[in-house]
Structure 1
Amino acid sequence: MIKGFKEFIMRGNVIDLAVAVVIGAAFTAVVNAIVAGLINPLIGLLFKADSLDDMTVKIGSATFAYGSVIGAIISFLAVAAVVYFVFVMPMNHFKERAEAKRKAGQPDPEEPETELTMLAQIRDLLAERGAAGVHRE
């Protein structure tokens, strides 16, 4: 039982996932601070509110806090944009360059032989034998 647990923990993808969760949590705190400290006040100025949380609509006895929803959407978009531009885009660029280098060192693969190409080769060989005067008796 301990051996199986040790193998599970030592897998590369489990360690990578653990690191990603820890970094993601720390990164989310940074982005949330930026959104709360910079972006929310700017939006609050546009809508004449002290913070996004103060942006509400009261209909009857229900109060709808649409400012909180806007803040959550902005936070999500900020995290997604930073993850894309800091991690995904450079990694895709790196993979493309590595693939280009790999392909540059290899010749183009030949197209796979099909029945049609094999029949065409047989036809050409038979035509060559006939033109050369090779006959079986």
Structure 2
Amino acid sequence: MFKGFKEFISQGNVIDLAVAVVIGGAFTAIVNAVVSSIINPLVSLFFDADSTGKIGIPTHGIYGQEVTFPIGDLISAIISFLAVALVVYFVFVVPMNKYKERQAAKNPKVEEPTLPTEQELLIEIRDLLRKQQA
């Protein structure tokens, strides 16, 4: 039982996943800081974010009370998600892709000769056998 657990833990995938979770937690703080310090003030220039909780569809409940479905909170969450996604894409993904392209251009891959597939070998053997019989 412990041997199987040891093999599971020592696999590279588990360590990679653990590192990704830790880095993701730290990365979240950076992304949230960029969004709260740059994106949210830009949005506030055009839209009052504090009033979004008051936007909604009012209806009357079964017992006569007024119930409001706060659609403004949903809109705020969507705007926040899109802001975070844009920041992650333009600040981190695009530069990393450019970096990878430059590295690939500096170090072109050397194509290794590919071996014939099993089917190609069988066809070749069949053709040789036919040639020998004729």
TM-score (norm 2): 0.61
Contact 2:34 2:87 in 1 (8 A): no
- 1:56-101: per-residue Cα shift (whole Å, max 9, x none)? 4233242322223211221133224444224455346645765x33
Alignment pair present for 1:44 and 2:44: yes
Q: Which runs of 4+ in 1 moved over 3 A?
A: 80-83, 86-98, 106-110, 112-115
TM-score (norm 1): 0.60
Q: Which amino acid aligns with 1:15?
A: I
What residue in structure 2 maps to residue 22 of structure 1?
Answer: 22
Identify which of structures 1 and 2 has the higher relative contact order when contacts are C-alpha pairs closer than 8 Å and 6+ apart: 2
Could you say what secondary structure the match of 1:5 adopts? helix
Q: How many residues align?
A: 115
Contact 1:35 1:74 in 2 (8 A): yes
- 1:36-67: per-residue Cα shift (whole Å, max 9, x none)? 121111111112x2xx3533423324232222
Across the aligned residues of Structure 1 and Structure 2, the Cα RMSD in angstroms comes to 3.7
Structure showing greater radius of gyration is 1
What residue in structure 1 maps to residue 93 of structure 2?
Answer: 84
Overall identity of the aligned pairs, in %: 40
Alignment pair present for 1:55 and 2:31: no
Alignment pair present for 1:73 and 2:73: no
- CA distance in 2 between counterparts of 1:95 and 1:74 reads 30
TM-aligned CA distance change 1:58 to 1:27, over 3 Å: same
Structure 2 spans left out of the alignment, 5+ residues: 59-66
TM-aligned CA distance change 1:9 to 1:53, over 3 Å: farther
Cα offset, 1:33, TM superposition: 1.3
What residue in structure 2 maps to residue 8 of structure 1?
Answer: 8
Could you say what secondary structure the match of 2:77 adopts? helix
